[in-house]
Amino acid sequence: MKVVRTVAALREVLADTGRVGFVPTMGALHEGHLSLVQAARAAGGTVVLSVFVNPTQFDEASDLDAYPRDERRDLTLAEQAGVDLVFVPGVGEMYPDGFATTVSVTGPLTETLEGAHRGRAHFDGVATVVAKLLLAVRPDAAYFGEKDAQQVVVVRRMVRDLGLPVEVVASPTARDTDGLALSSRNARLSAGERAQAAAIPRVLQSVVDAAARGETEASLLRDRARAGLTAAGLAVEYVEIADPDTLEPVAQCSGRELVLVAARAGAVRLIDNMPLGGSR
């Protein structure tokens, strides 16, 4: 496995490769990331993984500061998973002096859910860094986790709008034995907060089950979910039932929507979602 830290070195290594599959990450690798690597490997060719804690997508300085960083561990896990090339740029490589360009996806897609709660700058940061990474790696396919559902929709929109020549692949959310969606932030949960957090997948599943039993009233499903999360001790930021393509909230469920949650266990902000119709 090769490790490069500059775009120039990356281009040199990838100059004569055939198919490239790409997994962008912020490090703190877990089974969720590694399942994306497996998906990339299954498609064949060279698998590139990037590790870059992108400062421009953090809306809270404390969250950026607390974000776990352990490069040696990440490189070991990447190598074990069969990654061929790891791109680990520094902040100065991605945003050199004088950097002044932002890629924004505007409109409802970035104004709801995470956009409403974390602010527009979050998705501007995501769209800009993903555009830069895709232009640096120039992969045939890029792999993202469905846990960050809105991020996937925003990246798809940006890729289509700009005409970036890459297939965006979303892979199912990896979950721990208690159902909690794997996230680098889980490491910051105390034992008590972890128990609270486990209510998130249980409540999401109960919404999916209720929809499967024929409940179509989104407000009713939302209110029940919010009550369940609050009862578990979580501070709910939002519970929403939304169209999977536009993320616009719906009043009546057709069965193809997502139920999405953001809630805090203690100081740790967690997000998760499930498709009402079962696995996407």
φ and ψ of 227, to 5 deg: -65, -40
Query: Does 181 contact a copy of itself by CB under 8 A?
Result: no
Query: Does 223 contact a copy of itself by CB under 8 A?
Result: no
Instruction: Pick the closer one to a copy of itself by CB: 103 or 235.
Output: 103
Q: In what order do the strands lie in the sheet with 141-145?
A: 2-4, 85-87, 46-51, 20-25, 141-145, 167-171
Q: Are 109 and 157 in contact (CB under 8 A)?
A: yes
Q: How many residues does the chain have?
A: 280
In the bound complex, what is the minimum distance in angstroms from residue 140's beta carbon to a copy of itself?
Answer: 14
CA atoms within 13 A on the CB side of 251: 0
Instruction: Pick the closer one to a copy of itself by CB: 70 or 161.
Output: 161
Contact set for a copy of itself, span 101-160 (CB under 8 A): 101-107, 109, 127, 131-132, 135-136, 157-158
Q: Residues with catalytic annotation?
A: 33
Instruction: Pick the closer one to a copy of itself by CB: 106 or 205.
Output: 106
Total residues at interface with a copy of itself (CB under 8 A): 24
Contact partners, residue 254, CB within 8 Å, separation at least 6: 216
In the bound complex, what is the minimum distance in angstroms from residue 168's beta carbon to a copy of itself?
Answer: 14
N- to C-terminal Cα separation, the chain: 32
CB atoms closer than 10 angstroms to residue 255: 13
Q: Are 123 and 115 in contact (CB under 8 A)?
A: yes
Instruction: Pick the closer one to a copy of itself by CB: 109 or 207.
Output: 109
Instruction: Pick the closer one to a copy of itself by CB: 28 or 155.
Output: 155
In the bound complex, what is the minimum distance in angstroms from residue 149's beta carbon to a copy of itself?
Answer: 17
Among 82, 90, 165, 278, binds a copy of itself (CB under 8 A): 165
91-110 mask for a copy of itself (x: CB under 8 A)? -------xxxxxxxxxx-x-
- Residue 18 burial class via C-beta count within 10 angstroms: exposed 0-12, middle 13-18, buried 19 and up: exposed
In the bound complex, what is the minimum distance in angstroms from residue 136's beta carbon to a copy of itself?
Answer: 5
Distance CA 280, CA 184 (A): 23
The site for a copy of itself (CB under 8 A) is made up of 7, 98-107, 109, 127, 131-132, 135-136, 157-158, 161-165
